[in-house]
Amino acid sequence: MPVIETIKKALHLDHSSTSTPAASSSTAPSSSTAPAAATDLAVPATSITHETPAFDSKDVTVLFVLGGPGVGKGTQCANLVNDYHFVHLSAGDLLRAEQIRPDSEFGAMIKDYIKEGKIVPMEVTVKLLETAIGDALKSPPAAWAAGTSPRFLIDGFPRKMDQAHKFDDSVCASKAVLFFSCTEEVMLERLMERGKTSGREDDNKESIIKRFRTFIETSMPVVEYYRGRNRVYEIPAIGSKEDVYAKVRVAVDEILAK
């Protein structure tokens, strides 16, 4: 069976014989008619084929965080978690967690895709993100309970146009994109340094080159798509982390004031 069919079957997205009810637009994840016990992914059997997004963008702010591998997305997201009380969801981290989850039927596939620097079929990644958002809304951080509106940084996502459309349409319409730009030379240097301690199977020169290629060919069109809709805040990720963060703050203040 082709890999995409296997994924759809496991996630109950093969709706050839069943129909999916339209989701509500509340902040709670919608329920689904799919049998809960049959899925093997570490997520409840909610549907990602919503006709309306599972979470309403009036209640939930979603910022996508994009930029080449090693550009410093994770570092800057950590600053924003401290100062603005975002919940930070890294698509790569969620995929790596799913990869090593003992019962996952996607572990081997995810491993292959990551090593090759290729984009994992979006059904898996969107599902993991939708579940993580739902979990955070169910157990919000203290700052949200104290009045900060629910807000998420979705880091390293969307890396491909199909992910962008699927997320905006079925999970939550995104508000803006923070895009970190940098030269490949600088990113390569940072990744080779990180590779000494990261333990990541893709922080080696061969995988890094493939990741750069995927970023240019597959992910930059996503940036351009949102740029065409005036939603991209481009931040040159050059100089010290503090210098970069000062620029990030200006952008985030502007986005949140909208």
- What are the residues binding ligand C5P (CB under 6 A)? 69, 91-92, 95, 113-114, 117-120, 125, 156-157, 159, 163, 202, 211
74, 107, 140, 141: which one binds Mg ion (CB under 5 A):
74
Residue 69 contacts which entry, ligand C5P, Mg ion, none (Cβ below 5-8 A, type-dependent)? ligand C5P
Shortest spacing between CB 17 and ligand C5P, in angstroms: 30
Please give the C-alpha separations between residue 6 and each of 60, 63, 85, 114, 127, in angstroms, as whole numbers: 32, 31, 38, 19, 15
Q: Which two tokens stand for residue 240?
A: 């010290």
Shortest spacing between CB 115 and ligand C5P, in angstroms: 8
Chain center to CA of 82: 19
Closer to Mg ion by CB, 11 or 89: give it: 89
Cα 163 from Cα 119, distance rounded (Å) = 10
Closer to ligand C5P by CB, 206 or 253: give it: 206
Closer to Mg ion by CB, 27 or 79: give it: 79
CB 215, CB 188: distance < 8 Å: no
Q: Closest-CB residue for Mg ion? A: 74
Residue 174 contacts which entry, ligand C5P, Mg ion, none (Cβ below 5-8 A, type-dependent)? none
Report the relative pairing of strands 151-155 and 176-181 from DSSP bridges: unpaired
Options 68-76, 167-175, 198-206, 225-233: segment touching Mg ion (CB under 5 A): 68-76
CB 225, CB 167: distance < 8 Å: no
The residue assigned the tokens 């981290």 is: 93
Shortest spacing between CB 102 and ligand C5P, in angstroms: 20
Closer to ligand C5P by CB, 70 or 134: give it: 70
Closer to Mg ion by CB, 44 or 74: give it: 74
| SS3 of residue 228 by DSSP | coil
Residue 166 contacts which entry, Mg ion, ligand C5P, none (Cβ below 5-8 A, type-dependent)? none
Cα 174 from Cα 195, distance rounded (Å) = 32
Question: By CB under 5 A, is residue 75 in contact with Mg ion?
Answer: no
The residue assigned the tokens 């940072």 is: 190
Give the torsion sign (CA, 233, 238, 239, 241). Answer: positive
Cβ-proximal residues to 80 (8 Å cutoff; 6+ apart), any chain? 86, 88, 153, 248, 252
Closer to ligand C5P by CB, 32 or 131: give it: 131
Residues within the interface to Mg ion (CB under 5 A) = 74
